[in-house]
Amino acid sequence: MIIATGRIKLMAEWCHSLKEKRMVVNSIIDKVSSKFNVSISEIENLDMHNSIVLGIACVSNSTSHGNSVIQTVINFIEDNTEAYIVDIATEII
């Protein structure tokens, strides 16, 4: 069993409240959840209104497939949000 994980940090400079941030985060999570078979959640900076850190996890039977799924999700997030990516970290366990 292979577990592929990704941590993606985004900045949404236009968010001036936690309510605006929550709308952006929920939109990303809903889109990813409906398109991919992965687990995704906001994992850090919950009280900062313009910083978003998402955790993504995928269980697979091969390293290459798990890595491919995480990269595809990251590319999808980059293409479907106005927030810009600050940092990306992936790990295969």
The predicted structure's pLDDT at residue 46: 87
Q: For the domain made up of 2-92, give the CATH fold.
A: Alpha-Beta Plaits (3.30.70)
The predicted structure's pLDDT at residue 78: 92
The predicted structure's pLDDT at residue 2: 92
The predicted structure's pLDDT at residue 70: 95
What's the pLDDT band for 86 if we cut at 50, 70, 90? Answer: very high
Q: Contact 59/24 with Cβ under 8 angstroms?
A: no
Q: What is the mean pLDDT of residues 1-29?
A: 93
| Per-residue pLDDT tens digits for 29-81 | 999 999 999 999 999 988 898 899 999 999 999 999 999 999 999 999 999 98
The predicted structure's pLDDT at residue 64: 92
Identify the three-state secondary structure at position 65: helix
For residue 56, give Cα distances in angstroms to 15, 19, 23, 51.
23, 22, 19, 17
CA distance 23 to 50: 12
